[in-house]
Amino acid sequence: MPVIQMREAIRQAMAEEMRRDPTVFLMGEEVAYYDGAYKVSQGMLDEFGPDRVVDTPIAENGFAGLGVGAAMAGMRPIIEFMTFNFSLVAYDQVVNSAAKIYQMSAGQYRVPIVFRGPNGYAENLGAQHSTSVESIYAHFPGLKVVCPSTPGDAKGLLKSAIRDDNPVIFLESELMYAMKGEVPEGEHTIPLGKADTKREGTDLTLVTWGKATHACLRAADELAKEGISAEVLDLRSLRPLDHDAIFGSVAKTHRAVVVHEGHAFAGVGAEISARIMESAFDLLDAPVLRVTQRDVPQPYATNLEKLVILDTPRIAEAARRVMGRS
């Protein structure tokens, strides 16, 4: 299997779907003539032309709304936000239009649209460019929320998202665009709502998604040296959520730590923890713990940033606590 970067896998998914379906097009800031802010759309303008790879003004509310209207009219837009922090400018279009039109029109209009771009912190970008938005969007019925952690998953999930008849929030990571991994060529789709066990284990389950998956894998390596076998369950989709995979893993390990880079208060981790406690309480040998970014706005300074972001030692320590070894 070819080994390529995450940005190349995402580009493959978009280009293959645009070749397959003439209603698919890409729109966003600098996606065309600049080849994308992170070079994700490099070369796509040359292949598909300016009618299908469309540069926009710095006006997220405007081009997100344009995309919703295009989707209602039968197109399948891919809307790239240069960062999902900027999607908050278009929050009304995403939540009050894209998520609700199908129900409000009694099924007369579908909105097959993908909103994609980098989510969460990168490095030295400050508070206004470092927000993890998954809990903001996963809260609303009508939206699907997807968070890939590998290039192969990114391609398969994005192709499925583009084909989906519902609006999909597709959350990437600026720090993962250069990450390399095996990616199948040609037709490769992964169903939305199916988790993936990235590492088998028997003592506890680390439930995670997106960039945090790799911190969990590093923690699992560290814990293995202490005789603790940690399973790493990558949810991949937060809406829909793979309950069977979560409860199945907890039934095997009897302990769970939910790990994500967003904030703890009202985060997706709180929802997952509650569902485990409500539906799998009798399977647990210890309370469910959460490990998240510190509950402060993201600092700019490197020394402060390191104190705030999710890191492997805190994950390992939470695992030791649920094992009674802290």
Domain span including residue 287: 196-322
For residue 275, CA distances in Å to 241, 243, 268, 272, 283 come to 11, 9, 11, 5, 13
224-261 pLDDT per residue, tens: 999 999 999 999 999 999 999 999 999 999 999 999 99
Please tell me whether residues 176 and 217 are part of one structural domain.
Answer: no
Mean of all residue pLDDT scores within the chain: 97
In a domain, 189, yes or no: no
- Three-state DSSP at 106 gives coil
pLDDT band per the 50, 70, 90 thresholds, residue 131: very high
Tell me if residue 60 is catalytic: yes
Overall pTM surpassing 0.75 (yes/no): yes
**Per the residue annotation, which of 16, 80, 129, 174 is the catalytic one?**
129
Convert the pLDDT of each residue in 157-192 to its tens digit.
999 999 999 999 999 999 999 999 999 998 999 999
> How confident is the model over 80-94, as pLDDT tens digits?
999 999 999 999 999
Q: Are residues 219 and 150 in the same domain?
A: no
User: What percent of the residues of the chain are helix, what percent strand, and what percent coil, each to the nearest 5?
Assistant: 40, 15, 45
Are the C-beta atoms of 171 and 145 separated by less than 8 Å?
Answer: yes
Closest by CA to 238, choosing from 269, 280, 215, is: 269
Is position 190 within any domain? no
What's the confidence (pLDDT) of residue 245? 98
The pLDDT of residue 207 is: 98
User: Residue 132 domain-assigned?
Assistant: yes
Determine the Cα–Cα distance for residues 163 and 76; give it in Å rounded to an integer: 8
Name the DSSP class of 187: S
Residues 297 and 212 in one domain: yes
208: in domain: yes
156 in the same domain as 45: yes
State the Cα torsion 117-131-144-152 to the nearest 10°.
50
DSSP letters, 242-275, are -HHHHHHHHHHHS-EEEE-SS-STT-HHHHHHHH
**Residue 264 confidence (pLDDT):** 94
User: Are 200 and 107 contained in the same domain?
Assistant: no
Q: Is the pLDDT of residue 277 over 80?
A: yes
29 as an active site residue: the answer is no
pLDDT at position 123: 87
Same domain, 222 and 138: no
Give the end of a domain, one of 147, 182, 217.
Answer: 182
Q: How does pLDDT run across 188-202, given as a tens digit for each residue?
A: 999 999 999 999 999
Residue 295 lies in a domain: yes
The CATH number of whichever domain residue 119 belongs to comes to 3.40.50.970
* Residues 152, 204 within the same domain: no
Residue 205 and residue 314 share a domain: yes
The percent of residues above 70 in pLDDT, for the chain, comes to: 100
CATH number for position 202: 3.40.50.920
To 5 degrees, how large is the angle CA 65–CA 69–CA 73? 165
Q: What is the pLDDT of residues 42-85, one digit of tens each?
A: 999 999 999 999 999 999 999 999 999 999 999 999 999 999 99
247 and 105 in a common domain: no
213 and 292, same domain (yes or no): yes
Residue 251 lies in a domain: yes
- Does 133 lie in the same domain as 201? no
In Å, how far are 62, 239, 301 from 115, measured between CA atoms?
14, 14, 30
Is the predicted pLDDT of residue 326 greater than 80, yes or no?
Answer: no
| Residue where one domain finishes, among candidates 117, 147, 182 | 182
Asked whether residue 187 is assigned to any structural domain, the reply reads no
| Residue 45 located in a structural domain | yes
271-279 mean pLDDT: 97
Q: pLDDT above 90 covers what percent of the chain?
A: 95
- For the residues 22-39, what does the mean pLDDT come to? 97
- In the chain, the number of structural domains is 2
Q: Please state, in angstroms and rounded to a whole number, the distance separating the CA atoms of residues 97 and 157.
A: 23
Catalytic residue (one of 8, 17, 29, 60): 60
State the pLDDT at residue 71: 98
Q: Rg (Cα) of the chain, in Å, rounded?
A: 20
239 and 274: one domain? yes
Report the distance separating Cα 114 and Cα 136, nearest Å. Answer: 16
Residue matched to tokens 């600026």: 174
Give pLDDT, residue 144: 98
